[in-house]
A and B are shown apart, each in its own frame.
Chain A
């Protein structure tokens, strides 16, 4: 018995696939933006905050990094629903992904902040920069610049991991596969198509981060160091 591949049946569902791709990208975009904000804030707290705040951030980071995203999403999304709050599923998914990626971002940015030389801070003080100015221009920006490649690959992983949110009913790219499978019974072909789409997405997202990096860090662009 030989199996006849039928990719046409799957590709006929391209509107669903396109819609799923857009949802995946949107989820990734939102959780990237919020994740960077949370990560940068928590990293600042962890390197220079009061002891109690450091402990809280430390617990948050350790707990998230040592439990699976799936359980975190179940906990948050089903938990919020059980309290009677009705959130749109995309909002819930963004919250779950943001909480998750925020912890990873914290660790990466913290490493960047710790790599800032003390002399830089002393120089900023001597130049009379305010505390906020020092944070923004002397600490956060160079720190982000230094860890940018690590951040970018973490966010590509986030894009791939967002497929897990299909299990709580988010109709992103992977979630669409269920519908196509039950219509066509072409399980294997569906997964081949999904695999190729995700590979393309990974390349696109990675390229997007490279371009963004060139725009964000002109100093590095001038020095010609690669991102």
Chain B
């Protein structure tokens, strides 16, 4: 085992973390808009976002990465850097899943809450901001933390089409020169585990807490 290889793996891990954070920020913003659009009373908007979600959930992330990587150049924009293209694809992908998760959370806030707010003459924005969101947020936290694990795992394929250097990519490069797959892929797997497992545990703990409050 060589310390240069370990440093290279750690650098890859940094790439993974950067891409995950960017994805979570942008995917979260877009996903929130998607969730709102999905419960919009205007049928065109809610159905349109429904189709958007269906399409994104029906194709592999790798295909989406290819489209995001080669697409902008073709439509006359500057081509994207690997990090930009990977963030773009993962943002679209996560927005579809987060949108569906959060739509469920918004809709699980009891109907009378929506109606009561309306009866009190609270405007649409204020109803969302001060009545619905605070309650939905509590419900949404455990599945959202759980989905962060999915995002981190999904960044592992950002090197395949787009060529963004993250943990899996660096591990593959090291294996190509050392031929010790069990050792280096094992270490890479442990690194992923070290990042993902605490989030998984946290998600479960939050869920249990929420259930206690509901009992």
B: residues with CB less than 8 A from A are 55, 57-64, 66-67, 70-71, 74-76, 149, 153-154, 156-157, 160, 168, 171-172, 175, 179-182, 185-186, 188-189, 192-193, 196-197, 200
Contacts and interface: CB of A to CB of B under 8 A. Distances in A.
A67 B168 contact: no
The 9 nearest A-B residue pairs measured at CB: A191-B66, A78-B181, A68-B156, A66-B196, A163-B60, A202-B58, A75-B185, A68-B153, A188-B70
A interface residue count range (under 10 / 10 to 19 / 20 to 34 / 35 or more)? 35 or more
Given A67-B189, A199-B55, A190 B62 contact: no
Contacts of A66: 149, 153, 192-193, 196-197, 200
A191 B67 contact: yes
Contacts of A65: 149, 200
Given A75-B182, A75-B185, A160 B168 contact: no
Interface in A156-193: 160-161, 163-164, 166-167, 174, 177, 187-188, 190-192
A226 interface: no
Given A71-B171, A82-B181, A194 B66 contact: yes
28 contacts: A62-B197, A63-B189, A63-B193, A67-B189, A67-B192, A67-B196, A68-B153, A68-B168, A70-B156, A70-B168, A71-B156, A71-B188, A71-B189, A72-B189, A74-B168, A74-B172, A74-B175, A79-B185, A166-B160, A177-B66, A187-B66, A188-B67, A195-B59, A199-B55, A199-B58, A199-B59, A202-B57, A202-B58
A63 B64 CA distance: 27
B93 to A, nearest CB: 11
A193 to B, nearest CB: 10
Interface of A: 1-3, 62-63, 65-72, 74-75, 78-79, 81-82, 160-161, 163-164, 166-167, 174, 177, 187-188, 190-192, 194-195, 198-199, 202-203
A198 B59 contact: yes
Contacts of A75: 181-182, 185-186, 189
A187 B73 CA distance: 11
Contact of A194 (B63, B76, B197): B63
A198 B192 contact: no
